[in-house]
Amino acid sequence: MNFVDSILAQTIIFAVPIIISALGGLLAYKINIVNIGLEGFMVFSALVSTVVMYFTGSYMWGLLSAIAISAIMGLIYAFFAVTQKANFVITGFAINILAAAVGGFVIKHLNTIGKLNQNSIPVTLEQSKMQLIIPAVHDIPILGALLSGHTPMVFLTIVLFVIVSVFLYKTRMGMYTQVIGESEDAARSVGIKVNKVKYIVLIMSAVIVGFAGFNIAVEQVRLFSPVVIAGTGFIAIAAFYCGDGRPGRTTIYALIFGLTQSLAMNIGLMNNALAQILKTVPYITIIIVLTINSLLKVRNKLDRGAHYVD
Amino acid sequence: MAIKEVKAVTNKKVEVNPVSVERTTSTISSAINIIVPILLAFLIAMIPILISKENPATVYRVILDSAFSLRGFARILHYMGPLLLAGLAIMISFKAGLFNMGVESSIIVAGFTTAVLGYQLQTLPRMVLIPLLLVVAIVVGVLTAVIPALLKAYLNVNEMVVTLLLNYAIIEILKALTIGPFRDPRSGTVSTHAVGQNAIFKGFGNTQLTAFFFIAVVAFILVWFLYRKTKLGYEIRSLGTNLQFTEATGIKVRRKIIIIMLLSGAVAGLAGAGWLMSEEYKYSETFSSNPGLGWDGMVISLLGGHAPEGAFIAALFYGILKVGSGRVAFNTDVPAEVVTIIQALLILFLSVKMVKDKNSPAYISIKHLIYRAKEKRLLRKEKRRAKKEGTLEAKPLEVKEEVLEVKKPEVVEVKEPKVVEVMEPKVEPVQVVETPPPAEELKPLTIKALVAKTIPELKAIARENNISGFSSLNKKELVNLLYRSKVTEKPNKEGK
């Protein structure tokens, strides 16, 4: 694989979890809930799916358990954020810390009971068994790197993108979601069951985010440790912030962030001295993108306090 | 439902001071808001403890044990210093509605700088070096907060996302610096050189308590003063409550946002320096441990209800947890992660207000209970007083003792009605009271009967009995007056 090929392939690899989790996050963002806990949702899904796969060795069971735990987490989060009217920023944050702590605990516990003797939970299923190769395009230089040889989640990303877009813009529930985002009181006044819609959206969002955790732990890193997600959740937040909560733009930003990560990593591979510093590039790029994005937004606002209020 | 009940109570007994009820209710509500999450967190954390086949009671005792020995307590105070400062750093910004997650990075940057300078300048005398390091740490902490502050103030970039991302970037940069130019090659782990002896806060006696704790306390007092007594403190609270309104009143919101973020960074910087100079002595990847001092600060600020006094108590509590967590891993089979789980659960439950605003059912029912309790206490007091006065005055008159005894069966009043109505339809002048009234028909009202009436009823009775000058009296005085003048009640409208 030459340099461009590997950058492209890695962009896909890096971008996929960002896109998936940003698509999930933007659903919650549409009902005015910025879910800081994306990271934690991913850790939980990664943890449960790796543990299940560690004991069953089955990809399907892993995926199903990831969906199940994500739905449960979504339900818990919705209970706190909607029913209990909690400060959802702090709830999300608690979920992040909780996820890392539970992850660490499970690993230690598996070690104590002698089922494991290392600091992470490995995925034993071979990667080649997860890759889907499309024969027709596999050997074409650039297209091949882009399209073929990926794991199921990569293809699921496209499906999810379509699902989220259709859901938001073509279904009744999606319309309700947008109305609630615009004005909750207005939604209530026309008889929309706001809490019900919020629950549905948050659980959907969590399940989608769970796919991202599964993708990172099982298909990419192929092990679970409490830090395996490494900030993807926050990058996803930045992505849907920049993309204004629209699936299309969000995906584009997620791809840009994936590209910077891939570039940073590939350049780092060529030059070891810079490798450590280059790790900061994606984060700094995102901050710059956010800044430019805000610069454009702020210019068009005139009302009082608009400069300070989201 | 609950609202109705409260109103009913209000109508019946007006005497309880509503302000004091409100105050007690809000105190109790905030106590519930803090105690219930703590209990829930400890309750749920039993699950992982039980999974590890340990007795939760033992584990919790191990956690809390250290608070009961002198050395243990000194250790708690030692941990408390940086924790308190981290909590205050979070509090300052959160209270203003700015989610400055960069407290963590301010802490580690300050820690790193202190470590490097404390090693490079170790020849300086103690009296110069320590203040210098502290000042540098504060400056560095401020510098770390500059970027998000400016971005938030001028471009309204979400400060939370920026600070979280900057945290990652800063951790990577510091890692690179620690691996590269500033690494101590003799150390087995990746870390900087340890600071010189002159840059270390030494423990008093054989305890771990250092002078830094007192520096932290001084900083706490300063922050408290700033928060409670100055204009800036007021502006911080005002910003967090309603930003648009704050701006409309002419406060320069931009400048305030910057000042608050930088202040938060400064306090965080001090925390980082203190942690390094009194505990870690060198910077490594695990400097602020897991999940990090900044996040501990968040729990402390939350526990303390985003107020300085609360943060002080919360930091003490958290110090116990922190010291306990070290002991847990040491003395039991439970992994130290359990304490992190407790911490996460604490944050989770603290994000919910168990008793929400003043219109929530929980708040109203608490208010109702307190109202009842206060009312009961007042009544009891009243009765006791009346009894005392009654017996005092009874001696010369001698009739009253009987009255007091008679009052036990409450039915007395009910017996009176219909017959009386016909015989004595109207007014009894005050003088009549002097001559003992015909016992069967109209007895003077007993204290108990009087106390049981509301003010309007009492006033009506006074009016009936041609007593003047009662309009400005409160209930106690009314009851007294009426009792002393031995009024009778005209049984109006069939008994009730």
**Which residue shows structure tokens 């509090």?**
B91
What is the distance in angstroms between the Cα of A77 and the nearest Cα belonging to chain B? 10
Is any Cβ of chain A less than 8 angstroms from the Cβ of B146?
no
Hey, are the CB atoms on B169 and A84 less than 8 Å from each other?
A: no
The answer to whether the CB of A45 falls within 8 A of the CB of A183 is no
Residue A305 reports pLDDT greater than 70: no
Residue A304 reports pLDDT greater than 80: no
The answer to whether the CB of B327 falls within 8 A of the CB of B65 is yes
Residue A220 or A305, more confident: A220
Residue A21 reports pLDDT greater than 80: yes
Chain centroid to Cα A41, Å, comes to: 9
In angstroms, how far is the first alpha carbon of chain B from the final one? 26
Contact list, A309 vs chain B (CB under 8 Å): 156, 243-244
What is the distance in angstroms between the Cα of B153 and the nearest Cα belonging to chain A? 7
The answer to whether the CB of A98 falls within 8 A of the CB of A40 is yes
For position B442, what pLDDT does the model report?
62
Tokens of B347: 């944050």
For position B271, what pLDDT does the model report?
93
Hey, are the CB atoms on B160 and A101 less than 8 Å from each other?
A: no
Residues 101-140 of chain A whose Cβ lies under 8 A from any Cβ of chain B: 101-102, 104-105, 108-109, 112
For position A70, what pLDDT does the model report?
95
Chain centroid to Cα B368, Å, comes to: 21
Spatial CA neighbour of A74 closest among A87, A63, A88: A88
What is the distance in angstroms between the Cα of A3 and the nearest Cα belonging to chain B? 25
Hey, are the CB atoms on B351 and A234 less than 8 Å from each other?
A: no
The answer to whether the CB of A258 falls within 8 A of the CB of A239 is no
Answer whether CATH 1.10.3470 is correct for domain B55-332.
yes
Average pLDDT over every residue of A47-75: 92
Cα separation of B487 and B446, whole Å?
9
Residues 6+ apart with CB under 8 A from B482: B445, B450, B458, B461, B462, B465, B467
Residues 6+ apart with CB under 8 A from B160: A36, A89, B99, B100, B101
For position B103, what pLDDT does the model report?
92
Tell me the DSSP string of B165-185. Answer: HHHHHHHHHHHHHHHTTTB-T
Hey, are the CB atoms on A280 and B172 less than 8 Å from each other?
A: yes
**Total CB pairs under 8 A between chain A and B:** 153
Top-tier CATH class for A3-295: mainly alpha
Spatial CA neighbour of B191 closest among B299, B300, B309, B112: B112
Angstrom CA distances, A3 to A14, A135, B87, B309, stand at 16, 23, 48, 58
Residues 252-281 of chain B whose Cβ lies under 8 A from any Cβ of chain A: 253-254, 257
Cα angle for residues B482, B484, B490 (degrees, 5° grid): 40
Hey, are the CB atoms on A90 and B164 less than 8 Å from each other?
A: no
Chain centroid to Cα B344, Å, comes to: 20
Hey, are the CB atoms on A305 and B247 less than 8 Å from each other?
A: yes
Cα separation of B394 and B311, whole Å?
57
Contact list, A116 vs chain B (CB under 8 Å): none
Angstrom CA distances, A142 to A9, A265, B202, stand at 9, 19, 63
The answer to whether the CB of A225 falls within 8 A of the CB of A108 is no
Cα separation of B457 and B459, whole Å?
5
Angstrom CA distances, B234 to B69, B258, B469, stand at 40, 16, 47
Hey, are the CB atoms on A307 and B172 less than 8 Å from each other?
A: no
For position B127, what pLDDT does the model report?
87
Instruction: Report domain extents, chain A.
Output: 3-295
pLDDT range class, residue A146, cuts 50, 70, 90: low
Contact list, B147 vs chain A (CB under 8 Å): 287
Question: What are the residues facing A122 on neighbouring strands?
Answer: A223
Tokens of B101: 């997650």
Chain centroid to Cα B83, Å, comes to: 18
Residue A5 or B97, more confident: B97
For position B8, what pLDDT does the model report?
45
Alpha-carbon torsion, ordered A98, A103, A109, A114, to 10 deg: 180
For position B489, what pLDDT does the model report?
67
Neighbour-count burial of B456, counting CB atoms closer than 10 A to its CB (0-12 exposed, 13-18 middle, 19+ buried): exposed
Q: What is the pLDDT of residues A105-120, one digit of tens each?
A: 999 888 888 888 888 8
Angstrom CA distances, A134 to A1, A139, A162, B60, B466, stand at 17, 9, 21, 57, 105
B287 sits in the region (left: phi over 0; alpha: psi -120 to 50; else beta) called alpha
Query: What are the backbone dihedrals phi and psi of residue B45, each rounded to the nearest 5 degrees, phi first?
Result: -65, -10
Chain centroid to Cα B414, Å, comes to: 50
Hey, are the CB atoms on B347 and A310 less than 8 Å from each other?
A: no
Tell me B356's DSSP state. -
Interface test with B, best of A93, A244, A297 (most B CBs within 10 A): A93
Cα separation of B147 and B166, whole Å?
9
Tokens of B386: 């009346």
b/e code A58-77 from CB counts within 10 Å (16+ = b): ebeebbebbbbbbbebbebb
What is the distance in angstroms between the Cα of B134 and the nearest Cα belonging to chain A? 28
Spatial CA neighbour of B90 closest among B73, B104, B109, B78: B104
Which DSSP helix (H) or strand (E) runs through A87?
none
Instruction: Report domain extents, chain B.
Output: 55-332, 398-484
Interface test with B, best of A77, A287, A295 (most B CBs within 10 A): A287
Residue A239 reports pLDDT greater than 70: yes
Question: What are the residues facing B284 on neighbouring strands?
Answer: B191
Which DSSP helix (H) or strand (E) runs through B417?
helix B417-423
Average pLDDT over every residue of A131-160: 76
Alpha-carbon torsion, ordered A100, A105, A108, A109, to 10 deg: -150
pLDDT range class, residue A296, cuts 50, 70, 90: confident
For position B405, what pLDDT does the model report?
47
Hey, are the CB atoms on A101 and B155 less than 8 Å from each other?
A: no
For position A212, what pLDDT does the model report?
93
What is the distance in angstroms between the Cα of A129 and the nearest Cα belonging to chain B? 34
> Between β-strands A121-122 and A223-224, what pairing exists: parallel, antiparallel or unpaired?
antiparallel
Contact list, B341 vs chain A (CB under 8 Å): 98, 101-102, 105
Chain centroid to Cα A307, Å, comes to: 29
For position A300, what pLDDT does the model report?
65
For position B392, what pLDDT does the model report?
52
Cα separation of A24 and A36, whole Å?
12
For position B491, what pLDDT does the model report?
55
Hey, are the CB atoms on B344 and A94 less than 8 Å from each other?
A: yes
Tell me B284's DSSP state. B
A88, A100, A307: residue with CB nearest B291: A100
Is any Cβ of chain B less than 8 angstroms from the Cβ of A290?
yes
What is the complex's ipTM, to 2 decimals?
0.86
Cα separation of B454 and B10, whole Å?
11
pLDDT, one tens digit for every residue, chain B (496 residues):
445 544 444 444 446 777 888 888 888 888 888 888 889 988 998 998 888 888 888 888 888 887 788 888 888 899 899 999 999 999 999 988 888 889 999 999 999 999 999 998 888 888 889 999 999 999 999 999 999 999 988 888 888 888 988 988 998 899 888 888 888 888 778 888 888 888 888 888 788 888 899 999 999 999 999 998 999 888 888 888 888 888 888 888 888 899 999 999 999 999 999 999 888 888 888 887 766 888 889 888 888 888 898 899 889 988 888 888 778 877 887 887 888 888 889 888 888 877 767 777 888 888 888 888 888 888 888 888 888 877 554 444 444 444 444 444 444 444 444 444 444 444 444 444 444 444 445 667 777 777 777 777 877 877 777 777 777 777 777 777 777 777 776 555 444 3
Question: What are the residues facing A223 on neighbouring strands?
Answer: A122
Residue A99 reports pLDDT greater than 60: yes
Query: What are the backbone dihedrals phi and psi of residue A121, each rounded to the nearest 5 degrees, phi first?
Result: -100, 115
B156, B176, B248: residue with CB nearest A304: B248
B283 residue type, one letter: Y
Cα angle for residues A173, A179, A181 (degrees, 5° grid): 105
